[in-house]
Amino acid sequence: MKDGAGSERYSIAELAALAGVSRRTVRFYVQTRLIPPPHGAGRGSYYTRTHLEAILHERARQTGPAHPRLPAGPVSAGGAFRSETVTIIRLAGGYCLLVGSGQAIPSSSVLERLAETLNDPGGSASGERNEGGDEEEG
């Protein structure tokens, strides 16, 4: 909608639709000050082109730079390489777990145990031998 001065006014629903986000996301952006609050108060509040541009700018910032699409399937002539979509789960200590598409993501309790094992300085994940005594002394 345009007001008498020629600037566009949007309701929260119109702004959300134009920006491709939910109304809840618009409210979150206002609450966290990623975009300025609407003009007016209550049911008479409205958003402008400035708000729309701020949301589009924030979405572009969050998604990062566009990357060219990699070809699916083998990359080398010999087929030694392949590409697939994975889910990256960041664990404590800088470790990441890659879960291939179509694979089940481990439960939170399994992920917590894995993170604890990786962060245990004396554990088997650190590369040290088990001192339990499976080997004979010579």
Rounded-to-integer distance, Cα 97 and Cα 90, Å: 6
Q: Which residues contact 36 (CB under 8 A, 6 or more apart)?
A: 30, 50, 51, 54
Predicted local distance difference test score (pLDDT) of residue 132: 47
Cα atoms in the Cβ-side hemisphere of radius 13 Å centred on 102? 1
User: Which class in CATH covers the domain with range 12-63?
Assistant: mainly alpha
Sequence spans of domains, the chain:
12-63, 81-125
pLDDT value of position 111: 85
pLDDT confidence of residue 122: 64
Q: Output the pLDDT for position 46.
A: 95
- What's the pLDDT score for residue 16? 92
| pLDDT lower than 50: segments of the chain | 4-6, 126-138
Q: Which amino acid is at 6?
A: G
The answer to whether the CB of 119 falls within 8 A of the CB of 92 is yes
pLDDT on residue 135 = 46
State pLDDT tens for residues 56-89.
888 888 876 555 555 555 555 555 556 678 888 8
